[in-house]
Amino acid sequence: MESLKEKKVLVSGASIAGLSTAYWMDKLGYKVTVVEIANEPRTAGGAIDIEGIASDAAKRMGIFKQLESNRLNLEMIEFKNADDITEGSILLKNEGAELPDDHIEIERDKFVHILFDKLKNDVEFIFGGSITALNETKDNILVTFKDGKQSEFDLLFGCDGIHSAVRRIRFGHETEYTHFLKAYFSITIVSKLLVKQKTMQMYGVPDKAIMLNAYNNKTDIVFCFNSEKEIPYDYRDEERQRKIILEQFEGLNWRTSELLKEVQRSKTFYFDKFCQIKMPSWTKGRVALVGDAAYCASPAAGMGASLAINGATALADALQKHNGNFELAFQDYNKKLRPFIEEVQATAELNVRENFIPRTEEAIRKRNTQAKLF
Ligand SMILES: Cc1cc2nc3c(=O)[nH]c(=O)nc-3n(C[C@H](O)[C@H](O)[C@H](O)COP(=O)(O)OP(=O)(O)OC[C@H]3O[C@@H](n4cnc5c(N)ncnc54)[C@H](O)[C@@H]3O)c2cc1C
């Protein structure tokens, strides 16, 4: 391979896509810098799934065993009615049963820390930073950071999530690529068990759903609701987002008022619309996007982390195959990964439209009672 040692790459974003991309670029021999807007690796977030080819990628990255030893083992899903009566349940795993080795559920921050610890001595991290301008020439790309500093890189990877700054600067405004799926969600994590460990509970009324997921003495509280129209809010304005959840769910039965109180006083809160990013190309010149920035499928896919890991791995494989020739590698990346992304996005879209948040009382009862009672 052409020597990549003197080649410098910049990764924007230190989450799942960013850390996976940084891992592979370091492995290929590039000199890697990661710039992350937060002041440290962002640790919020609930459980994420790593499945299919992403678990193979995790094996190749040498982190699979660590992921496995931190895996969560959801055992039971219970469907509740307004009086907290279980109408149906799904037993996912009997005590002692063997777990699959191609699907791991793990806390998002555990994953981030495992990968960050693996990289922190080999890769330069700039926390509290962000890219504000790019100037690409035939030979390199000049990056301006928010503190005014400038540096040249050979390649830039935009792994900065659904509201990617790299995408906005290099590819155009977010609205060109975002497809709203007519639903919103919030995730709050509390450090106590609101239901039995390893259990998920669901409650819903038409167009609104609440889910509790308990593991490791914590509970994820998830609120989801359908909305034909987009609700105006600033994605950095957390108070406004908490208020949206309060307005949507206030007055509902089951444990809603208790859960809303938890949301209002919790430290960790994540809110977004269900949406997908669809782009005709994930690369432009010396810039490639990876993960949610390029092809977010929405949480309804349950595949955000897997797509980010697969994307980073596909990009690295293409660069290796083409000996560091980024133009050929980027073509491969766009071509080979696309069918898989399109399939996952189509399934997620259907999921949101038809199953995720049932629209009628009848659909809720049918879902709840079709599940057997255990
Ligand atoms: C704090 C947090 C909590 C989450 N919780 C959940 C969850 O509970 N369930 C779920 O399904 N998904 C959650 N997600 C989304 C999930 O991580 C992604 O859908 C998926 O894993 C794909 O990862 P990604 O690396 O592409 O994007 P993300 O995980 O969104 O990561 C993007 C990274 O880029 C950083 N960034 C953003 N803007 C800039 C910028 N201008 N410059 C530099 N860095 C920037 C962000 O701080 C973040 O670290 C969460 C994401 C975050 C950031």
Residue 103 scores a pLDDT above 90? no
| 14 Cα–ligand 1 center, Å | 8
Q: Is the CB of 168 under 6 A from ligand 1?
A: no
Ligand 1 pocket, residue 309 CB under 6 Å: no
Tens-place pLDDT, residues 327-359:
999 999 999 999 999 999 999 999 887 778 999
Residue 268, pLDDT score: 84
* Residue ranges, CATH 3.30.9.30, the chain: 181-275+354-369
* Cβ of 305 less than 6 Å from ligand 1: yes
Q: Is the pTM of this model over 0.85?
A: yes
Determine the average pLDDT of the residues in 250-258: 97
Alpha helices for 104-233 (secondary structure H): 108-119, 165-170
Q: Of the residues 125, 168, 292, 345, which should be mutated to test ligand 1's pocket, given the most ligand atoms within 8 Å of the CB?
A: 292
**Is residue 222 in contact with ligand 1, taking CB distance under 6 Å?**
no
> Which residue has the least CA distance to atom 11 on ligand 1?
299
Residues present in the chain in total: 374
d(CA 42, CA 14): 8
List the residue whose alpha carbon is closest to atom 6 of ligand 1.
45
Average pLDDT over the chain reads 92
| Cβ neighbours for 98, distance < 8 A, ≥ 6 positions apart | none
Residue 311 Cα, ligand 1 centroid: separation in angstroms? 15
pLDDT, residue 234, reads 87
Percent of the chain past pLDDT 90, that is, above it, reads 78
Q: How far is the CA of 298 from the centre of ligand 1 (A)?
A: 12
- CATH 3.50.50.60 in the chain is located at 2-72+103-176+276-349
Give residues with Cβ within 8 angstroms of 17, minimum separation 6.
159, 161, 290, 291, 292, 293, 308, 309, 311, 312
- Residue 23, pLDDT score: 97
Q: What DSSP line would sit under 304-369, residue for residue?
A: HHHHHHHHHHHHHHHHHHTTT-HHHHHHHHHHHHHHHHHHHHHHHHHHIIIIIS--SHHHHHHHHH
Q: Which CATH number fits domain 2-72+103-176+276-349: 3.50.50.60, 3.40.640.10, 3.40.50.300, 1.10.10.60?
A: 3.50.50.60
| Ligand 1 pocket check for 310: Cβ under 6 Å | no
**Distance separating alpha carbons of residues 164 and 169, to the nearest angstrom:** 9
| Alpha carbons 147 and 68: distance in angstroms, whole number | 40
* Residue 40 CA to ligand 1 centre (angstroms): 13
| pLDDT tens sequence across 117-166 | 999 999 999 999 999 999 999 999 999 999 999 999 999 999 999 999 99
358 lines ligand 1 (CB under 6 A): no
Residue 161 CA to ligand 1 centre (angstroms): 5
The band of 267, judged by pLDDT with boundaries at 50, 70 and 90, is: confident
Q: Which of 12, 42, 310 is nearest to 167 (CA)?
A: 12
For the residues 288-300, what does the mean pLDDT come to? 96
Domain 181-275+354-369 falls under CATH 3.30.470.10: no
Which atom of ligand 1 is least distant from the CA of 43? 1
Contact of 326 with 9, CB cutoff 8 Å: no
* Phi then psi dihedrals of residue 327, to 5 deg: -65, -45
**b/e map of 205-216 (b: 16 or more CB within 10 Å)?**
bebbbbbbbbbe
Best of 35, 49, 108, 184 for a ligand 1 pocket test (most atoms within 8 Å of beta carbon)? 108
- Cα 270 to chain centroid distance, Å, stands at 11
pLDDT tens-digit series, residues 24-75:
999 999 999 999 999 988 877 778 889 888 989 999 999 999 999 998 888 8
Using DSSP's 3-state secondary structure scheme, residue 240 falls into: helix
Determine which residue's CA is closest to atom 50 belonging to ligand 1: 45
Is it the case that residue 372 has pLDDT exceeding 80? no
Q: Residue 181: what pLDDT?
A: 95
**Sign, CA torsion 259/261/266/271:** positive
Instruction: Provide φ and ψ at 31, rounded to 5°.
Output: -90, 115
**Strand, helix or coil for residue 224:** strand
